[in-house]
Amino acid sequence: MVRIPAQAIALLALGSGGLVATILLGIIWAPDVNPSQWRAPAAYRIIFLHVPFAWTSFLAFGMLFWGSLGWYLRRTERSWRLVQSGSDLGLLFGIGVITSGPIWGMAEWGVPWDWADLRLNTFALLTALALFIVMARRSQPDHDSTRDTIAAVGLFGFILVPITAVATTLYQKRHPGVVIIESEDSGLDPAIRTVMIIGFVSVTLLFIGLTMVSHTLYSAEAEMELNLKVLDEMNGGE
């Protein structure tokens, strides 16, 4: 029986509770934005999920990159666990980003997707990359050659991360930047900033907890496969 670390359970509980609090505060407590500047001003509240999801997906893709690099340099099971967890979580949070984004786009633009928006399309490619790696891991035999191919995809695909990050800063054609409300301090309304911080912390805690759970499950799976292999060899030698 696989035993999930108590720390992981605690992190998942805290992250889930914080995520619920983020949603409620975003709906009830966060102030409205200037309706003259937005077609659907209330729809901005989805940023309290959209932006933290994007942040944690970048963390996941970073994990995938380091795991892929470590696999090539050291070929250790620890590095491969990073590839497994990074691709799984990159897909999970990437889906969160490309789902929440079109919801806002439908409300604000009248269409769920803008094919001219560089940020949307590069993030979609990142999520598709994670999907490819997850499907390849599950459908192909777990040999070193398969791992080499998947790690190569993870390494080269990571190029999309800085491209997406730069596009988020520079490309402001239709996709909104930071929601700005007049304030003497930072330009960001204190209530919005507070909800955003709660969202970032909560989703990050979820990410860490899920990483620990993923590592535990994949380690147990590898140990079980190793034991089965040893048993097969023993039975074959009799």
Non-local (6+) Cβ contacts of 79 within 8 A are: 66, 67, 68, 69, 70, 71, 73
Name the residue ranges covered by the structural domains of the chain: 6-30+40-222
Q: Give the Cα separation of 121 and 233 in Å (integer).
A: 49
Would the pLDDT of 1 be above 90? no
pLDDT of residue 2: 77
Give percent above pLDDT 90 in the chain: 52
CA-based nearest residue to 51, from 16, 91, 87, 22: 22
Q: Read off the pTM.
A: 0.86
pLDDT digits (tens, 9 = 90+) for 61-96: 999 999 999 999 999 999 999 999 999 999 999 999
Q: How confident is the model at residue 178 (pLDDT cuts 50, 70, 90)?
A: very low
Which alpha helices (H) appear in the chain, and where do they start and end?
6-28, 47-74, 77-108, 118-139, 144-157, 160-170, 190-237
Would the pLDDT of 176 be above 60? no
Tokens of 62: 């970073």
Q: How confident is the model at residue 202 (pLDDT cuts 50, 70, 90)?
A: very high
> Looking at residue 184, what DSSP letter applies?
S
Would the pLDDT of 137 be above 80? yes
Would the pLDDT of 182 be above 50? no
**Could you give phi then psi for residue 159, rounded to 5 degrees?**
-55, -30
Tokens of 170: 């520079």
